Structure 1
Amino acid sequence: MTATSVGATPAAPPAARPVYSANYKRLVLFLLVTAYTLNFIDRTIIATLGQPIKDALHISDAQIGLLGGLYFALLYTFLGIPIARLAERYSRVNIISVAILIWSGFTALCGAATSFATLGAFRFGVGVGEAGLSPPAQSLISDYYPPKERASALSIYSFGIPMGTMIGAVAGGYIAKTFGWHMAFMVVGLPGVAVAIALKLLVKEPPRGHSETPVTHLVAEDALPDAPAKRGELAEMWAVFKILFLKWPVFNMVMGITLVSFAGYGGGQFAQPYFVRTFHLDYAAVGLIVGLAAGFSQGIGTLVGGPITDALSRRLSSRWYALVPAIGVALAYPAIVGIYTAPTWQTAAAFMLIPGALSYVYLAPTFGVIQNMAPTHQRATAAALLLFFLNLLALGGGPPFTGWVIDHFAAFHFAHPAATSLGDAISGFFGIHPADFQTACPGGKAAKGAADAAKAACSGALVLGTRQGVIVAYAFSLWGAFHYLLGSFGIGKALAKARADRGESD
């Protein structure tokens, strides 16, 4: 069967419930994970290519942060909700397929950029396409998998994050070293075309609410939803807003994922530049080290987060949907500090094997709670509203904030080379002008022909500023862990009430 095209007429009468084999559901999940992997390759490759772009275009770390954050996140964030509303009414498979083609094309176009302005414009385009993946994808997964398997399925879907980050780092670093950063963008953008076609041809549009118990208001496979998905837009949005922001335990989980993501996007943007600047490794080596170490660690955390939470919630209490992220994120921070204070790259890489396995358990439980709290006809909208809030603050703000802090810290240490502590840098933060450092050290490096002392001063200030800026950025994750802890008080009752309101059995 083929997915219904946008604009087709609704199928009116309810149909018999289709049965999907376990193998077919695995195929659907595999294709969605593949799409999410490409999504994160194209989204985060700026982190891999940040240093060569900085060197080539002579831009600041704040500008690198804008390319990796706000310029991508702005349209990505604001288009997410309108696209999710379309996904509640029309074929989610069609929307995802078109979205992949758009973001893949703009990623390839980034390889043609010759200035900060053109690269920024193409990053806006990448954001437009990527806005069309997660809300409809999470809604599809929720219709293929029942509530008690949903966090585990979303955990597998979320595995695209570390996979994309790892592949982008390793492949992007190698291509950048061998062929240049322009070619890296072009190469990683091309595979999306094949994935978009495969999704369109192989994935069926399941009935809305297909996996709920008991099943109510089913429409035919590949058909468009009937009411209540077509109520007034404001009423629908307000209903979803109340779930996410006016229910105290859910709001705390939203704040938790937002703050942890703010730290991860911000600090992660400068992980590879830090290794290049501090240990003087080439781009391919850094991509391999960071990609494999961080990707392996994050992959473990992502994959085990859902099953661990599902198991603990069944055996003990639904509080563990919030407690697992709170504990994991809090335990990860000391290892993060270890990465950025290690004396050698080998020690730093060893520390990098730890935090992702602990902190990335936060993804699947949070997405699972949001999907389980929302009615079947509002799940894409709930995912989009969560991502709107999260990405506007975390993805839009984390990288520019971290780059801004690094610029200020580097400028401070350049002006005051004897004051090397983080406390010194914080106390002198607002009395320094990063433009002075940019003038003396364009792109973080001394001008050609400068004396060795000037080169050492520029390099040392940038290394210290990067180290301390990243540590400050990741401290926001502890704030997020505190919100998860607060959310654990009441999340079980909130989930039970949501199930009862939908007439579902436990």
Structure 2
Amino acid sequence: MNLHAADPRADHHDGYLVSQPQAWFAFAMTFALMLFDYIDRQVIVSLFPHLKTAWALSDKQLGALVSVISIVVAVGGLPVALLADRYSRVKSIVVMATVWSLATISCMFTRNYGQLFTARAIVGVGETGYGSVGAALIASLFPKRLRATLMGAFFAAASVGSVLGVLLGGVIAARWGWQAAFGVVGIPGLVLALLYVFVPDYKTVAMAAGGTQVRQPAGTLLQRVAGALTSSRTLWWTCLGAAFQLIVVSTIWAWLPSYLNRYHGTPPDRAAMQAALVVLCGALGAFVWGVVADVVAARRQRNRLIAVAVLAVVTLLVFMTAFGTAMPANQQFLLIAFGGFLMTCTVAPASSVVFDVVHPGVRSTGAAVLSLFQNLFGLAIGPFVGGAMSDAWGLQTALAVMPIFGVVAAGCFLLAARSYEAELKRVSNVSIDAAPTAAPAAVASA
């Protein structure tokens, strides 16, 4: 893809759309918001023991408090991303961050399960489309050769945020009660939302071949968007594969603290800290496997999809061994941590593949399709189905069985690899330009 920078200081040789300081400022801000997105989303996991005691909730009800956010994000992601693609990615992110931060703070004032469930759903409304819009912005400002690496770093923020959310929730609840945890983690997002207005954006890209008019009749625009998305088999197989692997990830994230508490007698705050270490391994894995994907793709592009298919199967074997066989607690925890490092192997490569094969004019929308699958068929299923299986057969059995979805994920990635390289060529000549930025001169020239 040819990237034409509007700023004469931008580095044309390495393919940055704006100057490198502007690009890295955008990445830092987008990473920070992703961090607090998942702090706000996952803080409740470490509060499960407190909520179960306070309101006599079932595991299915507790899992629903996590799954509802993913369902709302999945339902609203496409329209939000479509608006962001056609108007402004930066302004959309500012609004989203403000809404989810305020909704998180409101959770501390709830007095029953229904109120908390509603507040969590509103958190999901704010988070709708953020990951896809933010990822599309990063993918467009930086060179293509860094795409999987940057996606790995960006989505690692989800794992790091989950770690901090679980840690902070456990520590704060132990000292000041579970309600206080929501207030503490919700405030920083408001500050970041105000600062995000200084992030550079890229101009809306015309959907018509060789066209310059980006404001088209709604019917024509929707037809072009639908055509750009439905014509890619690689996109759909990649989305399915990413979703099935995230069933494994979300199950471990949601239920590991409870598993450690129930089966090893670990106090809730310590269980939260141990589970956080596993999630942190996932953050490292998301970055490492993104780098690996870029390295193996240098020889042949389809290798990135083959690599993640293999890693998904290895993840299954590790978790089935950890939860399905008898072993000392310390040895089991090390094996679970290794599985945590492996299980995020698909996050960065899947996003990179989607950005590679969709038209630049619908990058946020293409990422929203991926997000829809990841949230509705991945993140939403893991905690809820895992909780239902736990109610029926016990939590240890549920954690041993749920990773089987990794085999299905591997099959989907192998099918995506068959059409990936051919579809890369279809959008290789579409160019994009930098939009005027509100960033102060100090940021632009730093």
User: Which bracket does the TM-score occupy, shorter chain normalised?
Assistant: 0.7 to 0.9
Q: Find the aligned partners of 1:165 and 1:339 in 2 and give their Cα distance.
A: 22
Matches within 5 A, 1:242-261: 242-244=230-232, 247=233, 249-261=234-246
1:23 has 2:8 as partner: no
> Residue type of the partner of 1:254?
C
Matches within 5 A, 1:20-99: 20-69=18-67, 71-99=68-96
Summarize the Cα distance change of 1:313–1:257 in structure 2 as closer, same or farther, 3 Å threshold: same
C-alpha displacement at 1:262, in angstroms?
A: 1.7
SS in 2 for 1:269: helix
Q: Is the 8 A contact 2:249 2:344 kept in 1?
A: no
Q: Is the 8 A contact 2:44 2:169 kept in 1?
A: no
Q: Find the aligned partners of 2:6 and 2:219 in 1 and give their Cα distance.
A: 25
What corresponds to 1:130 in structure 2? Answer: 127
Matches within 5 A, 1:363-378: 363-378=347-362
Q: Find the aligned partners of 2:211 and 2:296 in 1 and give their Cα distance.
A: 31
1:165 has 2:162 as partner: yes
Summarize the Cα distance change of 1:77–1:503 in structure 2 as closer, same or farther, 3 Å threshold: closer
Q: Is the 8 A contact 1:330 1:359 kept in 2?
A: no
What corresponds to 1:330 in structure 2? Answer: 313
Q: Is the 8 A contact 2:311 2:345 kept in 1?
A: yes
Q: Find the aligned partners of 2:330 and 2:398 in 1 and give their Cα distance.
A: 21
Q: Find the aligned partners of 1:336 and 1:163 in 2 and give their Cα distance.
A: 21
C-alpha displacement at 1:471, in angstroms?
A: 1.6
What corresponds to 2:440 in structure 1? Answer: none
Q: Is the 8 A contact 2:278 2:341 kept in 1?
A: no
What corresponds to 1:300 in structure 2? Answer: 284
Q: Find the aligned partners of 1:367 and 1:381 in 2 and give their Cα distance.
A: 12
CA deviations 1:35-67 (Å, max 9, x no partner) are 111111111223222222122111111111111
What corresponds to 2:199 in structure 1? Answer: 203
What corresponds to 1:226 in structure 2? Answer: 214
CA deviations 1:329-373 (Å, max 9, x no partner) are 111223223443565543333123212322322111110111111
Q: Find the aligned partners of 1:170 and 1:345 in 2 and give their Cα distance.
A: 21
C-alpha displacement at 1:233, in angstroms?
A: 4.6
Identify which of 165, 172, 176 aligns with 2:173. Answer: 176
What corresponds to 1:481 in structure 2? Answer: 410
> Residue type of the partner of 1:51?
P
What corresponds to 2:259 in structure 1? Answer: 274
What corresponds to 2:443 in structure 1? Answer: none
User: Which of 1 and 2 has greater Rg?
Assistant: 1
CA deviations 1:225-280 (Å, max 9, x no partner) are 82469663531442244145xx1x43222111010112221342111111111111
Q: Is the 8 A contact 1:32 1:137 kept in 2?
A: yes
Q: Find the aligned partners of 1:344 and 1:191 in 2 and give their Cα distance.
A: 41
> Residue type of the partner of 1:114?
R
> Residue type of the partner of 1:495?
L
SS in 1 for 2:109: coil
> Residue type of the partner of 1:325?
V
> Residue type of the partner of 1:84?
A
Over the matched positions of the two proteins, sequence identity in percent amounts to 24
With normalisation by structure 1, the TM-score equals 0.77
Summarize the Cα distance change of 1:121–1:346 in structure 2 as closer, same or farther, 3 Å threshold: same
Q: Find the aligned partners of 1:330 and 1:124 in 2 and give their Cα distance.
A: 33
1:405 has 2:389 as partner: yes
Q: Find the aligned partners of 1:236 and 1:300 in 2 and give their Cα distance.
A: 38
What corresponds to 2:395 in structure 1? Answer: 466
Q: Find the aligned partners of 1:168 and 1:342 in 2 and give their Cα distance.
A: 30
> Residue type of the partner of 1:358?
L
SS in 1 for 2:111: coil
C-alpha displacement at 1:33, in angstroms?
A: 0.8
Q: Find the aligned partners of 1:351 and 1:233 in 2 and give their Cα distance.
A: 50
Summarize the Cα distance change of 1:243–1:150 in structure 2 as closer, same or farther, 3 Å threshold: farther
Q: Find the aligned partners of 1:206 and 1:110 in 2 and give their Cα distance.
A: 35
1:239 has 2:227 as partner: yes
Consecutive unaligned residues of structure 1, counting only runs of 5 or more, are: 1-13, 211-215, 219-224, 410-464
CA deviations 1:103-138 (Å, max 9, x no partner) are 111111112222111111001100000004122212
Structure number with the bigger relative contact order (C-alpha 8 A, sep ≥ 6) is 2
Consecutive unaligned residues of structure 2, counting only runs of 5 or more, are: 11-17, 433-446
Matches within 5 A, 1:426-505: 465-499=394-428, 502=430
Summarize the Cα distance change of 1:490–1:58 in structure 2 as closer, same or farther, 3 Å threshold: same
Matches within 5 A, 1:311-350: 311-314=295-298, 316-340=299-323, 341=325, 343-350=327-334
Q: Find the aligned partners of 2:360 and 2:331 in 1 and give their Cα distance.
A: 48
1:285 has 2:282 as partner: no
CA deviations 1:428-481 (Å, max 9, x no partner) are xxxxxxxxxxxxxxxxxxxxxxxxxxxxxxxxxxxxx00001222222122212
C-alpha displacement at 1:184, in angstroms?
A: 1.1
Identify which of 176, 182, 189 aligns with 1:185. Answer: 182
Q: Is the 8 A contact 2:240 2:373 kept in 1?
A: no
Q: Find the aligned partners of 1:27 and 1:262 in 2 and give their Cα distance.
A: 33
Q: Find the aligned partners of 1:287 and 1:467 in 2 and give their Cα distance.
A: 17
With normalisation by structure 2, the TM-score equals 0.87
Q: Higher mean Cα deviation, 235-244 or 168-177? A: 235-244
Identify which of 334, 339, 356 aligns with 1:355. Answer: 339
Q: Find the aligned partners of 2:96 and 2:326 in 1 and give their Cα distance.
A: 41
Q: Is the 8 A contact 1:103 1:127 kept in 2?
A: yes
C-alpha displacement at 1:17, in angstroms?
A: 5.0
SS in 2 for 1:489: helix
Q: Find the aligned partners of 1:35 and 1:250 in 2 and give their Cα distance.
A: 26
